[in-house]
Structure 1
C-alpha cells in the first residue's frame, strides 16, 4: 500500500502526517508556522526521509488552487508577509519529486468529512470551521469548489443582531460572519474566551443567531446535502440545537426537503475526531498519485 504524506498548513502551526490510502495515520509531527525560510526545508526533509509516494497539502489562504492557474500552489495576498506569493506546492514538488495534491485547508477538511467522516458518501457538502476564523469548504457534485479562486464564505455579510453593539473584528468588513462570530469576536464582545463562557446562556444565544445566519445562507446558495460544523467554537455542543432551530426559522418554510425535515442529521458535528484536515490531505495525495 502506498505511503501518503499530508500537510495541514495553518496560520499558527503546520501538522505533518504519514498515512495510507485507507486513511490510517501512522506518524504525526507539528511545527510552528514561522517563515518559509525557517520551516519549509525542515518539512520537505521530514517527508523525504520517510520515503512518501505522494503528498497532499491543505493550505491557509488565500491561495491559488486551480491547476490551470500559473500561480497554482502559491500563497496569495496574506497578512503573513513572508508567505506572500510563496510557491508552497512547488517547494514540495521540487524537494520530493512525487505527485502533490493541493487545496485550501477548509476544502481538504470538507474532503476528509466526505470520505471518512460525518458526510461520508455524499457529493454536495459544506464544511464550516468556526474557530480563530471562519472558513467554509464546499463540495459540489463531488468536486471541491474553486471558481475564480476558492470560496471565502467565512466573509459573507450577515445582518447585525439587534442590540449587539460590538464592533466587527474583521479588518476588511463592517459586519461579516467571521468578524461577528469567530472566536476572537466572542472574546472581543464578552471579554473572555469562549471556553470560559460555557455557562453563559446569553453568549450562545447570540452566537447561535449569527451561526444560523451563515448556515441558512449556505443552504440557499449551495443546496448541500449536509452541513458539517467544526472548529473550536463548536466544542460548545449546546450550540447545535440552537443553530438547527434558528436555521429552520430563518428559512421560514421556503425550502421543504427530506434533509431539512431531519434537521438533527442535516447540521451535524465534524466526524473525524479533529483529523478531517489531515485525512482530507491524505485523500488529496491519494488522488494525485492515482492521477499520475
Structure 2
C-alpha cells in the first residue's frame, strides 16, 4: 500500500502518491475552479490508482480548521478564494476508505523541509512562502504549530517605508505583509509580472525590507532554529542576500548569536525540496496519520527510512 498527497492551492491542486522524496509517483496538477468540479477531479485521480491508499494527506490553502478533534476538521473558513468558504475538504475523500489528515499548505511544506530538507539538523523550522499570497508554517520537534486556529503570518503588520505610497492589496488589512509584498502586490506596483523585472529594479529593495521586517518579528516571537523562504517570488535568488542584509539591520545585534550575525547564509535559506515541499509535506501528513494507531511520534530518524 502507498500514501496519497494533495497540495491544495488557490490556483491548482497538486496530487501524488508515494512514500517520500525518492518515491513520488503519478504527480498531476488539477486547476482550482469550483469546489465540486475540482474535488471530483482529484477524487477521480486517486480512484484510478491501482492499489488502495494507506492514508491521504492534504495541505490546503486557508484559513482552515486543522484540529482533528473538531467536528469542523478540514472545513475551510472565510477564505478569500471565491466559492470555497465553508467547503469541507475531507468529505469527498471518505470514498477512498482510508484515514485523511489535513493541515495548512505551509505547515505541510514546513514539515517536509523539517523531515527531508533544510531542517534535518535542527529541532525547529519556520517556513514562509511568498507567492500569490504569503503564509507561514512553524514546526517544533516534528509537530506543526496550531493553537486557536493556525499561524497567519502573512497578515503581520509591517512598518511602511517612507518612500512607499502603495496602498496594499489585502482585502482585510490593506497594507499588511501580504498586501504589500505578495506576488500580486508586486505586479500591481510595477504593472508587469515580477519575474520579468531586472534584479536591479528599485522595487526589490522595498520588497526585501518588508520581508526582513517580517522575519525579524517572527524571530523575536518564535526563535526558530532555521528560516526557510519559499514560494514563487523567492525564485528571484538575488532576494536572499538583500533580505539577509536588511534582517541584520532590523535585528541590530540585539539577539547576539553567531547564526543571526555572521552565519545568516545558513540560517535564512531557500527550500531544499524546491516546489515539491508542499506535496511532500502532504505525503508526510498521510504517513503521520497512518502511524497514529501505533502512538508513534515521527522524528528525523524514524522518517529517513521513507526516503
* TM-score, structure 1 as length reference: 0.95
What does residue range 1-292 of structure 1 map to in structure 2 within 5 Å?
A: 2-21=1-20, 24-50=23-49, 51-92=52-93, 94-260=94-260, 261-292=262-293
> Quick one: distance in 2 between partners of 1:82 and 1:169?
20
In 1: Cα distance, 2:259 partner to 2:281 partner = 24
Give the 3-state SS of the residue equivalent to 2:178 in structure 1: helix
- Structure 2's unaligned 5+ residue stretches are 294-307
Q: Structure 1: where are the runs of 5+ without partners?
A: none
CA distance in 2 between counterparts of 1:189 and 1:82 reads 27
* RMSD over equivalenced CA pairs, Å: 1.4
In structure 2, what is the Cα distance between the partners aligned to 1:69 and 1:25?
31
Contact 2:32 2:38 in 1 (8 A): yes
Q: Is the 8 A contact 1:5 1:54 kept in 2?
A: yes
What secondary structure does 1:53 align onto? strand
SS of the equivalent of 1:118 reads: coil
Instruction: Determine helix, strand or coil for the equivalent of 1:34.
Output: coil
Deviation at 1:174, TM superposition (A): 3.3
Secondary structure of the structure 1 residue equivalent to 2:242? helix
Partner-residue secondary structure (3-state), 1:83? coil
CA distance, structure 1, for counterparts of residue 277 and residue 117 of structure 2: 7
Q: Check whether the contact 2:2–2:19 (CA below 8 A) recurs between aligned residues.
A: yes
CA contact (8 A) 1:4 1:21 kept: no
**Residues 98-141 of structure 1: CA distance to partner in whole angstroms, max 9, x if unpaired?**
11111000100101111111112422111011111111011134
Separation in 1, partners of 2:211, 2:81: 27
User: Within 1, Cα distance between the matches of 2:120 and 2:198?
Assistant: 30
Q: 1:129 to 1:78 in 2, by over 3 A?
A: same
Structure 1 stretch 62-71 or stretch 190-199: which is displaced more? 190-199
Q: TM-score, normalised by structure 2?
A: 0.91
Structure 2: distance between partners of 1:59 and 1:48: 20
Are the aligned partners of 1:157 and 1:175 in contact in 2 as well (CA < 8 Å)? yes
How far did residue 181 of structure 1 move?
0.6
CA distance in 2, matches of 1:80, 1:268: 29
* CA separation of 1:199 and 1:22: change in aligned 2, threshold 3 A: closer
Q: 1:218 and 1:18 mapped to 2: Cα distance?
A: 34
